[in-house]
Structure 1
């Protein structure tokens, strides 16, 4: 979504670079400060970019407010846009992420997974100066995210009113992500448009840099010394002398290429990037949180059962997503995490029952190689 306004501006200027080119440029700049500055650069850039993004959203809300009539707000209320939750019914309780149950119960479990097990958040907590600072950061992030989501939701309602409730097709837009960039370019002064584009890019680069740093860190710490030693051996074979930061920088570069390919593929769809991102997160959050719960509450399962449960539940969750994509029962992203937890625990317990771990061998009371104790 962050590439859309840049693509349009370049096209209007006679420079049709395309999404691939814009994504590559964003990735190159983000890789630069992530590889050179590490987590400190990521955290500071995120803080600055959050300020720019928040100011841009607040300006748009204030810019649109005087232009909207009371009749428009009444129409938005009649269309259900001012409700906090969607009505719950037999046909949408499982597929709609905005019902009361999905938002409160599923959303709470999703937040536990994202804030407790995702390296994207964990790396920031571990980098805090103290335990109190880490707790304050976690609680503060909940408040800031709630305010920012509320502000952006209000902006979305205002855009709906400003466009008289027209559909995306009637406006010539291919996806919901194109609505805000189109408004920025078509309706705002040039200087403000530039600032807001900077805000959109800030959010994009902030998420990208955090993801790169988290994936590189997890790859080098969660899988033992094998990835680092493999990278260093390859560098020596090519005639390079590896340094202490060589493996992290190479891993950051590797994941940058993977993310570029994934982003280019996902931009071909018409689904909202927010919903798509949360759906992809829900695919992995459930098994990850299930593994955490296994270690915390069921330590007797053993490492083998937990790892097999994690891998199998990831595959089962992928099947669930593919089936929902091609006409099967769709499951809201907020329910994917509880489903992944249940699948992981079920598979892990089944593996433990079918293949019990061998009991540790007992030491004999006496051995021919060990002298008998003296008896006085």
Structure 2
């Protein structure tokens, strides 16, 4: 049960996080220092920061939920993640460092024009609001589980307001330097908490727990009957082909075109440091995914395969927080919950910093039309950070009604626009004849078409394509409808952008 000592550990850890963030980010002098750490951050810290940002709360509570309700096939995505980061380090990072860019979208501005840079930045802002709104909502899940068990009447919105308020405190003052070093600390703490959980669960598990899980199909890495079925490649996200290819393209987009990650890579001292940080983060993520999937597997053994409803819970994402309260020794429960909160705070602070950075460099400075002093730019940067924090709270409260595992929801939302962004970068990289107008039309059309594909295109078991705008659950069950697996979203979006952007040139070539 939750004890006074757990409350003390939680409070002390959150206070230490804020103080460390304020200390690490002291003496900011300009917007470049505030958003890029004066381009002097060590690659090891950046590597760990990338890992902490992308895995945070969604990993801590979401991936165990995937294993609890399914099996270990989710892990195959990490193979694609490593491959995608290698491609980014070769194809995109050298271009960013050649031009000493402040944001990823500065490259599109140089290649196509400022209109394309603005369009990409606006899409990035919208995507981050939705995807990280899920992350902020996910933070509230374990806190609400604790509050409910203690008899405290607390809503998700109230929790979100408190977490966002604490986070914005050190982000406003500390900037990227504070965010990165706080990420490093959070990473070690929540990995330590996960290892402690694994030990507690393992010591209390029956000797044949792996055999028990295997007999129930929980240890499978390959999806039975799907690995050699092209139709199921399209509809099941963790089939080997889908996970590796889709995961690689998704990783190219998330770590090569999403300013949330690119911002950190631009803060390294050299291109080589940036490449080491990026590829190293992929290898670390493989280990993290394995760790949290094993936690979910042992939770399934611990609870005898009970459904969340049988445990008095409403969703699989609440199973791990439930165990933190009732299954861990005093002190460890408080530390693990503190690490979940702090990891979420580091992700939120990263998003706030990246959103404010893109808004300032990609939009505000260009629209303002005149140069600001260093102090003016720093002041505007902090106001933008505060403004985005308020918007985040509103977006996070939209996801309370969803029943999907939050980790899948977060990845699916990002995939809507990642394909268009990646396609635009590749279009500029490989096709020198494409104009800004063609690129913008292709980019915007790709994002719109992806929304139609994701929400309106379904497949029947016989392979027939059905067009239906968000059909009701009864029809989905009756006809066996399946949507396109989310790892394919990014690849399809990128191909649409490349095809639409190149089509006018191909048509012109045929005429001549």
Q: TM-score, normalised by structure 1?
A: 0.86
2:317 aligns to what SS in structure 1?
A: helix
Q: Does the CA-based 8 Å contact 1:128-1:134 persist in structure 2?
A: yes
Structure whose alpha-carbon radius of gyration is higher = 1
* Residues 295-304 or 342-351, more deviating: 342-351
Match of 1:73 in 2: 210
Match of 1:293 in 2: 426
Match of 1:254 in 2: 387
Among 195, 199, 209, the alignment partner of 2:335 is 195
Q: Does the CA-based 8 Å contact 2:145-2:318 persist in structure 1?
A: no
Alpha-carbon displacement from aligned partner over 1:179-214 (angstroms, at most 9, x marks no partner):
111111121123111101011112211211111111
Matched, 1:158 2:298: yes
Match of 2:262 in 1: 122
Matched, 1:311 2:448: no
* Residues 76-85 or 280-289, more deviating: 76-85
Structure 1 runs of 4+ aligned residues shifted over 3 Å read 11-15, 226-230, 324-329, 350-356
Match of 2:4 in 1: none
Matched, 1:347 2:487: no
Q: TM-score, normalised by structure 2?
A: 0.64
1:197 aligns to what SS in structure 2?
A: helix
Q: 1:321 to 1:173 in 2, by over 3 A?
A: farther
Matched, 1:8 2:145: yes
Q: Which ranges in structure 1 are unaligned for 5 or more consecutive residues? A: 233-241, 357-376
* Residues 208-217 or 39-48, more deviating: 208-217
Comparing both chains, which one has the higher relative contact order based on Cα–Cα distances under 8 Å and sequence gaps of 6 or more? 2
1:63 aligns to what SS in structure 2?
A: helix
Q: 1:220 to 1:172 in 2, by over 3 A?
A: same
Among 166, 170, 173, the alignment partner of 2:310 is 170
Deviation at 1:343, TM superposition (A): 1.6
Structure number with higher helix proportion = 2
CA RMSD of aligned residues (A): 2.3
Tell me the number of residue pairs that the alignment of Structure 1 and Structure 2 aligns.
346
Q: Distance in 1 between matches of 2:239 and 2:392?
A: 31
Matched, 1:83 2:224: no
Q: Distance in 2 between matches of 1:59 and 1:337?
A: 36
Q: Does the CA-based 8 Å contact 1:86-1:99 persist in structure 2?
A: yes
Q: Which ranges in structure 2 are unaligned for 5 or more consecutive residues? A: 1-137, 458-469
Among 174, 187, 202, the alignment partner of 1:50 is 187
Among 307, 328, 337, the alignment partner of 2:490 is 337
Match of 1:362 in 2: none
Alpha-carbon displacement from aligned partner over 1:58-105 (angstroms, at most 9, x marks no partner):
110111112112443222112222122323245532121111011111
Q: Distance in 2 between matches of 1:213 and 1:355?
A: 44
Matched, 1:28 2:181: no
